[in-house]
Chain A
Amino acid sequence: DAGVIQSPRHEVTEMGQEVTLRCKPISGHDYLFWYRQTMMRGLELLIYFNNNVPIDDSGMPEDRFSAKMPNASFSTLKIQPSEPRDSAVYFCASRWQGEYNEQFFGPGTRLTVL
């Protein structure tokens, strides 16, 4: 298996532009997570899905952020409009159902908003 795939690996954009980050989870995994990593706040959960349904989006910072999972093999995190404070590394992770199973992380997308 190729693991969790994220694209792009790096994104540089200007303030006010729309940004879309993409994630392909490991095949068969039931849960998908989006995390954000910044120097100030560390790694924080933004949202997670179970069987393609958003369960907890309380970590989404504001309405400019939205996430979707149209099918079991694809998820997007969109920021519109983007702001410089959104600059961070965004990780996607997935796991199987069940208490014991491990969470697998993608390589992350480094977003820079100028």
Chain B
Amino acid sequence: AQTVTQSQPEMSVQEAETVTLSCTYDTSESDYYLFWYKQPPSRQMILVIRQEAYKQQNATENRFSVNFQKAAKSFSLKISDSQLGDAAMYFCAYRSADSNSGYALNFGKGTSLLVTP
């Protein structure tokens, strides 16, 4: 079974600064997907960014980018120019590319991000 580890229960960043959230995972598969989800106080799960394991290029979505290190099984999220609205729980998630998995998501425990003015 795949495990996803987020070693930072809480992080803090000042507005306009950059912060990096860490995630490592364990898998024996070669083909899979990785995700970062944001969960604000509203509880809604919002997809921030996704990375296909077969792609070497790191994914980028506006102020959000990832550093995907496949050999090291590391998948960190960088938030640039942090905004107050970025304050939330962030979850790293793994999904197999194998249809037998049903494409279910396997989540880390989350990192609570605080953004200070």
Contacts and interface: CB of A to CB of B under 8 A. Distances in A.
Interface of A: 31, 33, 35, 42-45, 48, 50, 55-56, 89, 91, 93, 95, 99, 101-103, 105, 107-108, 110
A17 to B, nearest CB: 23
B44 A105 contact: yes
23 contacts: A33-B102, A33-B104, A33-B105, A35-B105, A42-B91, A42-B108, A42-B109, A43-B91, A45-B104, A48-B104, A55-B102, A89-B43, A93-B45, A93-B105, A95-B103, A102-B50, A103-B103, A103-B105, A105-B44, A105-B45, A107-B42, A108-B44, A110-B43
Determine chain B's interface SS by DSSP, over half rule: loop
Interface residues of B, number: 19
A107 B105 CA distance: 17
B102 A91 contact: no
Contact of B107 (A43, A95, A101, A110): A43
Given A91-B45, A107-B43, A56 B103 contact: no
A44 B110 CA distance: 12
Nearest to A44: B107
Contacts of B42: 107
